[in-house]
Amino acid sequence: MTTQVRVDNDVTPETNHSFLTRLYTGEGGIDFVGRRKLWYIITLVVLAVCALGIIFRGFTLGIDFQGGTKMTMPAANLDTAAVSRTFEEATGVTPEGVQIVGAQDSRILEIASERLSDEQIMSAREALYTEFQPKDASGEVTPDAVGDSTVSESWGSTITNRMIVAFGAFLLLIFIYIAIRFERDMSVAAIAALGVDGVFIAGCYALVGMEVTPAVVIGLLTVLAFSLYDTVVVFDKVQENTEGFEHTTRKTYAELANLAVNQTVMRSISTTVISALPIIALMIVAVWLMGVGTLKDLAVVQLIGVIEGTFSSVFLATPLLVSMKNRQKKFKKHNLQVAAVRGTDVDGATYQEAVEAGLVNEDGTAAVDEHDEVVGANGLRPTGVNSEDAERFNTPDGETSLGASWRPTRRY
């Protein structure tokens, strides 16, 4: 919609963009950082539910982690209860789980149990073959249609320990990289957001009872890297927007950080959607067409992770960063200066505190000029574009907008 606004006898076109258009161009103006207490409450509630699931239900570990024996055969029209009885009668061991995976002709029946001896395995194979007459891929009835695999408890323990070490090394390297590339506070915020991702995914697996396999661990590390990448993109924009912020009283650190989130949120959403589509396709192929359990395990954890990773990078990482910054003396002082200039409360800093700090003159004017800057200030405008960029894009000072939010303005 376009209207005509008359100013000093000049006619200036004014365009009212839709919310989605403004969101895509980074001008959506959503207060992600200002509502951080709400995001914290939602996160704490979700984490509490996940923690309870982990504590009281625990994980269903695959045989690769806890050791054991798994037997498989074509499912056809088999009844899991009948298979379970036959297995128990042949081995004297109650199976830990009997399930059918896949669809149509690719359906496979899996029997998981504690580790069996060679004699027990042979007895189970013979009993299952005799009772159910399974067919191989060519349709021939054969004992070879019944398969088995065994993992020792010591091997499972070794795999588990290596998984924990790999995960710890992953987090340590992330912390070091972000601390060097950006700053320590950003490292802490990024690791905290990743921790939320990990607990959420673990809680989902505990509550639903899905089996934890090596494929799940691989998928978990993949989606954590995805979430980290998304967070780093946002932090890069935060660093760009807030460079030299203390030399001007136009905006607080929180407002500039919130601007950065608005400028990157559509990029995060687009990346999530694009990533989710092939994952969903993988799930369809794995579950309904091929019946491959490994692909299903990989796809499920990735789908959960990319959605949660987007939430943590947009709604948690930057708000956590701002919360840490606002506890520091330098940032508290700057918030008071902005409050003095505006004559109102700003992000935890009250106007009365600014008066008591001597930042307001006796006549009620701010002791700090709104446009006071020193050499070295970034000179950011409300849209996050500096003075040089404004000139480069032929845009009037104070009315800058680069369009697509993810376009870099930094020059090296």
* pLDDT tens, position by position, 340-386: 777 777 777 776 776 666 666 655 566 665 554 433 344 444 444 44
The Cα 129–Cα 2 span in angstroms is: 76
User: pTM for the whole thing?
Assistant: 0.74
pLDDT means per 10 residues, the chain with 412 residues, are: 42 54 65 92 96 91 82 84 89 85 74 87 89 81 84 75 84 88 91 93 90 85 89 92 85 91 89 88 70 73 90 94 91 82 76 68 59 42 44 42 40 35
The Cα 38–Cα 51 span in angstroms is: 20
Q: What is the pLDDT of residue 399?
A: 41
In three-state secondary structure terms, 343 is coil
Alpha carbon of 114 to those of 101, 286, 345: distances in Å? 20, 26, 64
Q: What is the pLDDT of residue 131?
A: 85
The Cα 175–Cα 228 span in angstroms is: 11
The Cα 327–Cα 329 span in angstroms is: 7
Hey, what are 156's tokens? 């499972």
Alpha carbon of 389 to those of 22, 194, 237, 246: distances in Å? 20, 34, 15, 20
H-helix or E-strand spanning residue 116: none
The Cα 207–Cα 51 span in angstroms is: 10
Report residue 286 CA to chain centroid gap: 23
> Could you tell me the domains of the chain?
31-60+154-325 (1.20.1640.10), 68-151 (3.30.70), 329-380 (no CATH)
Phi, psi of 11 (to 5 degrees): -100, 120
**In this structure, what DSSP letter does residue 152 have?**
-
Phi, psi of 109 (to 5 degrees): -95, 130
Q: What is the pLDDT of residue 152?
A: 77
Pairing of strands 108-113, 60-61: unpaired
Q: What is the pLDDT of residue 256?
A: 92
CA atoms within 13 A on the CB side of 304: 21
